[in-house]
Amino acid sequence: MQQGSDQHAKERRAQRTRDALIELIEALSAAHDVSDVARVVLTIGKSLADADTGTVCLVSRDQRFLEIVSHVGFHDLGQLAPHMNMALTDDAPVTTATRTGQPFFFESLAELSLRFPRLAAPARARGRQADAFLPLMVRERRIGAITFGFIAPQRFDEEMRATLLTLARHCALATERALLLEDVQAREKRTRALIDVSTALSRCVAEGADEARIAEVLATRTHASLGWTCTLEVPAFGHVEFPRMMPLPPDSGGGRRKTVTVREGERELGRLTVDLGPGERVWDEDARLIDQLAERSALALAVCAHARALRHAQDDAIRASRAKDEFLALLGHELRNPLAPITTALDLLDARGKKGDAPERSILRRQVRHLTRMVDDLLDISRIVKGKIEVDPTPGELRSVLLRAVELAMPLLHERKQGLDVHAPAGLRVLVDEDRLAQAFSNLLINAARYTDPGGRITLEAFREDGYVVTAIRDTGIGMDAELLGRIFEPFEQGPRSTTFAGLGLGLAIVRSLVELHGGTVTATSEGPGRGSEFRLTLPALDDEDQRLATTDEHPVGIGLRVLAVDDNEDAVTLIARVLRSAGHTVVTTSSGAAAVELAPRMSPDVVLLDLAMPGLDGFEVAALLQEDPATRGSALIALTGYGQERDRERTKAAGFCAHLVKPVTAERLLVLLSEIERDRRPSSRP
């Protein structure tokens, strides 16, 4: 009868244990952090073991301490105070179990005294008679320990020991999972915080903030993202007040505060101090994040300082440029004032016709002309640098421009007894601002005369070549070496030449600028010193064939295409518009891709000329947007680009362009292409 009762009680205990373990597993599956895991384990474990107290202890991140993270059954928390943070090397049951992975079951105070004599008295004082110390380990990783205390002696039979060890294993697995999840969440939180602070600092710098604002943004964003309190001191920039900065709390020790130096290279900019708050400690990952915050702060402070220096430099440059402009204006006025009466006086002396002083008058007139030209060059180059010189090209004969240039250069040619051969046939038509282009050609002729010996020869020849009008000016002068050829068109550049006609070295720089404003190029060649020089000026041709295209029945004037021309080079797009308008096309121009996308649906262009390499929306992006819009889907797209390799043509074809034109594009080529597009679009007259 007794045996049956004992068997029945044993079965009840076994069922109770199974039910408790099932409850434990279900509860642990829903626990997501360490505190939840510890609470579940202590609640179920204490009931299962009929224990009076229990604790869950975890190894610290640095593997040096064992810290109590949860406890149950202690009415006097003072009993726990000495054990809240124990060194893992301590000779105590809980630390030894954690280190070795071996559990301890002490069924009486006597057993505890035998193994840990020094702990017998404290245990007796707390009223404990029995204890169980269960290590928490996963794959030899030390996680911590569970302890259960009993106020009466216990008998831990094999079943109870196995049950408690099973509970410990489940607790270890759940704790490891929770710790891993916490690590992932902590890493994500640190990453988000770093991104948030970096973004805020970048925005702050972009807005032109000073050091005080940078420090404020760093402090507020760090606190909002992490709950940390920080302060940034920047003595490198003088005393900086932070009226809205939150103060650091008193440092209570415990390793919760860290100060790092903020550096730009070897230069110390300041110091960053971070306080993690009560109960926290700066671990390695926290220290790395603080170092990264210091790096971001250094970058922001350095950019702030460099931006301020740049602003000061820009202000200085603006003041210097304004002073230079005022000086040049005053200089031109003051120099021209005395030149006018000197020239008049020379005219009067010439009218009197005294033969004896003719050589002296000739010298004076030559030097006055030279000085006048230097003043003009100086003012012209200033306007060119500031982009204030404009040209107004219209269709015209190059021959008439060349004859004007010869007329301007002839006095110097006669004076130096130099011969000039001119070969400029009629019919070479270009888009030209006659005044400005005559100035460029006369500069080249005068330059040739200056550096050719008296009695030498200069040749001026104009001809058509591959859709361009080329003008070549050759001399028999002193020539140039390769080093000088590479910089001859730069302002104030001169070679080691005679000082008879010393100037400012601006003439050729002015020539290049004026020619480029016409959409042309100018180059210089020489076989070397003493072998003469040749300057070639090339302009897009606009000949009678172009005019025919604009006036014949195939392309009647005023019945042309609607063309949208898009190029960030405003001079280039203006010239293209003039060519196309002269051929009867309606042209709207813009220098930005975004503006083109906005304009195109309103005008429904037949043709869109697109520069590919524009800032902002480039030609390919504009093309894609236009092809998506029903209002512009039928527009013919023509690419204008400096790239002409086969892969470049394939790319534009794939993007939907009907033609790929390589810059510089001749007027003839462009007008012929538009004529073909217009012919294809015109409805057939056949029935």
Within a domain: 347: no
List the CATH number of the domain containing 131.
Answer: 3.30.450.40
Within a domain: 325: no
User: Looking at the structure, do residues 625 and 603 belong to the same domain, yes or no?
Assistant: yes
Which of 183, 210, 225 is the last residue before a domain boundary? 183
User: Looking at the structure, do residues 8 and 109 belong to the same domain, yes or no?
Assistant: yes
Within a domain: 399: yes
Number of structural domains in the chain: 4
The pLDDT score that the predictor gives to residue 556 is: 37
Within a domain: 49: yes
User: Looking at the structure, do residues 477 and 514 belong to the same domain, yes or no?
Assistant: yes
The pLDDT score that the predictor gives to residue 551 is: 39
List the CATH number of the domain containing 616.
Answer: 3.40.50.2300
Within a domain: 31: yes
DSSP string of 137-197? EETTEEEEEEEEEESS-----HHHHHHHHHHHHHHHHHHHHHHHHHHHHHHHHHHHHHHHH
- CA–CA gap between residue 430 and residue 397 (Å, rounded): 6
Within a domain: 256: yes
The pLDDT score that the predictor gives to residue 459 is: 94
The pLDDT score that the predictor gives to residue 548 is: 46
Within a domain: 370: no
User: Looking at the structure, do residues 671 and 594 belong to the same domain, yes or no?
Assistant: yes
User: Looking at the structure, do residues 287 and 210 belong to the same domain, yes or no?
Assistant: yes
- CA–CA gap between residue 560 and residue 315 (Å, rounded): 50
User: Looking at the structure, do residues 170 and 64 belong to the same domain, yes or no?
Assistant: yes
The pLDDT score that the predictor gives to residue 555 is: 37
The pLDDT score that the predictor gives to residue 685 is: 37
The pLDDT score that the predictor gives to residue 215 is: 84
Which of 481, 510, 540 is the last residue before a domain boundary? 540
User: Looking at the structure, do residues 95 and 169 belong to the same domain, yes or no?
Assistant: yes
User: Looking at the structure, do residues 112 and 217 belong to the same domain, yes or no?
Assistant: no
Within a domain: 415: yes
The pLDDT score that the predictor gives to residue 646 is: 66
The pLDDT score that the predictor gives to residue 235 is: 72
Predicted structure pTM score: 0.43
Range of the domain at 221: 186-313
User: Looking at the structure, do residues 27 and 151 belong to the same domain, yes or no?
Assistant: yes
User: Looking at the structure, do residues 579 and 491 belong to the same domain, yes or no?
Assistant: no
Which of 510, 540, 570 is the last residue before a domain boundary? 540
The tokens 């109770």 sit on which residue?
A: 16
Report mean pLDDT in 10-residue bins for the chain, 687 residues. Answer: 60 77 81 86 87 91 86 79 81 91 91 85 79 91 92 90 90 88 85 87 83 84 85 64 50 69 82 78 80 86 82 80 64 59 66 68 68 63 58 85 87 89 90 84 89 92 91 91 79 52 62 85 89 92 55 44 88 77 86 88 90 86 92 91 70 92 71 86 50
Q: Which residues of 281-296 are buried (b: 16+ CB within 10 A; e: fewer)?
A: ebeeebeebbeebbbb
- CA–CA gap between residue 598 and residue 535 (Å, rounded): 44
Contacts of 328 (CB under 8 A, 6+ apart): 378, 379, 382
